[in-house]
Amino acid sequence: MEITDVAPVAVRQRIRGRARLAGWLTAVRNEERARYERLLAGRHPEHSPAYAEVDRPAWMLVRLETGEISVDDLWGAGRVEPADLGAAEPDPFARHEAELLQHLHSAHGDRVRALAGLPGERAGEADAAVRDVVPLALDRFGLRLRCTAADGRAFDARFDFPEPVKDTGELRHAMHTLFAAAAG
């Protein structure tokens, strides 16, 4: 299975990453079926077996037993152990990332643009007439911006939070800290 992560904002090269999962599909056994049907109904009630139409074929529940995972994204490429994926917690901002990025861009565009001027390993490029700065990704660990120079070259800048944030209150504080650093 291949999963593509597309940026929820309008930028060139919108694909932020791809994950590939390989493994085995196995039928869910009868003794486990009720538990998986409840899980499916809780997340997608309109697609659960309980709502199957009479003239449609019967549902078959299958489970992907993951053997290997590879990820290629803005941060690099590598392998992920299936046990690590199984133990991973969802990012608290994943469901609302698009709205948060759009809010940062529309309501705080000037402050986001100021972040491109912070010193770093690409500071020379950031100082050289950045034409556009767009929030590209946001998670509990930080913010990534897509910066476009006057000549059309684009580069990404990552701003890590001092520690992972857990909720919108901590996110607000972390963003204010970044904005204050950019304001000097």
The arithmetic mean of pLDDT across residues 23-45, rounded, is 83
Residue 67 and residue 32 share a domain: yes
Residue 80 and residue 112 share a domain: no
Counted domains in the chain: 2
Q: pLDDT band at 13, cuts 50/70/90?
A: confident
User: What local confidence, expressed as pLDDT, does residue 90 receive?
Assistant: 92
Residue 120 and residue 74 share a domain: no
Q: Does 95 score more than 90 pLDDT?
A: yes
Residue 111 and residue 41 share a domain: no
Residue 81 and residue 115 share a domain: no
Q: Mind spelling out the 3-state secondary structure of the chain?
A: CEEEEECCCCCCCCEEEEEEEEEEEEECCHHHHHHHHHHHHHHCHHHCHHHCCCCCCCCCCEEEEEEEEEEEECCEEEEECHHHHHHCCCCCCHHHHHHHHHHHHHHCHHHHHHHCCCCCCCHHHHHCCEEEEEEEEEECCEEEEEEEECCCCEEEEEEECCCCCCCHHHHHHHHHHHHHHHHC
pTM of the full predicted structure?
0.78
- In total, the chain counts a number of residues equal to 184
User: What local confidence, expressed as pLDDT, does residue 131 receive?
Assistant: 86
Give the domain CATH number at 104: 3.20.180.10
Q: Does 141 score more than 80 pLDDT?
A: yes
Instruction: Give the integer Cα–Cα distance in Å for 150 and 51.
Output: 55
Edge-to-edge strands, sheet with 130-139:
130-139, 142-149, 154-160
Residue 110 and residue 172 share a domain: yes
Residue 117 and residue 61 share a domain: no
Residue 141 and residue 101 share a domain: yes
Residue 41 and residue 23 share a domain: yes
Out of 69, 87, 105, a domain closes at 87
Residue 111 and residue 66 share a domain: no
Structural domain harbouring 9: 2-87
Residue 59 and residue 81 share a domain: yes
Q: Does 160 score more than 60 pLDDT?
A: yes
User: What local confidence, expressed as pLDDT, does residue 53 receive?
Assistant: 57
Q: Quick one: which of 4, 35, 3 has its CA closest to 22?
A: 3
User: What local confidence, expressed as pLDDT, does residue 57 receive?
Assistant: 56
User: What local confidence, expressed as pLDDT, does residue 56 receive?
Assistant: 54
